[in-house]
Amino acid sequence: MLTIALPKGALLKESIERFQAIGLDFSAFLDKSNRQLQITTPNARAQGLLVRAQDVPVYVEYGQAQLGIVGYDVLREKQAAVAQLADLAFGHCRMSVAVKASSPYRSALDLPPHCRVASKFVGCARDYFQSIDLPVEIVPLYGSVELGPITGMSEAIVDLVSTGRTLQENNLVELEVLYQSTARLLAHPVSYRVDSDGLGDVIRQLRAPLVAAV
């Protein structure tokens, strides 16, 4: 039976809708009274695992799931050994550097060397500042990253931005966009090559609307 890792959070509802469209119903995960983390579709064709978004590539890489959906931001950060199959074109957001609106900085290069940058995306932040040859101290935060500049713990943050409302309400402004992020379809490399449990058919069906839209 095909096992699919689905991400908790903002991408879950549309991920489930994509699978429903091809006859795989994981909508039980949307029922707030349901506490199950593993369910089987009513037609018994597949089972779903409901996991943290950051764990989706891990379950796929280790073969506990043959297929998964997760944001490109997570894939960039995790660097997991998985096959990236398609940009599913939903869950649009961007990874950005932001600072207090009252700061004198107008670009990332204006930041002082060895300043502190708070982020939950430690790897992405480090890679970016290395790419512009600016030495900084990355401060790992996994809650409200915006508090870094507000409290003075950091000069800047690297974080996901969707509408920009959270930044605006906390008097922060974007300096740079590192990259755009959307939901991506990924697969376990070996399962993908050998087409186990009808994986190839599921992938083709998920890709079909994307191809038609081009």
Write down the pLDDT at residue 194: 87
Calculate the average pLDDT of the chain: 94
Question: What beta strand segments (E) does 107-147 contain?
Answer: 116-119, 137-140
Query: How far is Cα 97 from Cα 46, in angstroms, rounded to an integer?
Result: 40
Q: Is residue 68 predicted with pLDDT exceeding 80?
A: yes
CA distance to 4, 19, 56, 58, 140, per residue, from 195 (Å): 14, 18, 20, 20, 39
The pLDDT value given to residue 26: 97
Residue 159: predicted pLDDT: 96
**Bigger pLDDT: 208 or 101?**
101
For the four alpha carbons of 113, 114, 115 and 121, in that order, the dihedral sign comes to positive
> Hey, what domains does the chain have and what are their CATH numbers?
2-91+182-213 (3.40.190.10), 93-180 (3.40.190.10)
User: What percentage of the chain has pLDDT greater than the value 70?
Assistant: 99
pTM higher than the cut 0.85: yes
Closest CA to 121 of 152, 168, 156, 91: 156
Mean pLDDT calculated for residue range 23-33: 94
Residue 98, pLDDT score: 98
What is the C-alpha separation between 4 and 82, in angstroms, rounded?
Answer: 14
**CA pair distance 48, 149, nearest whole angstrom:** 39
Per-residue pLDDT of 114-162, as tens digits, reads 999 999 999 999 999 999 999 999 999 998 999 999 999 999 999 999 9
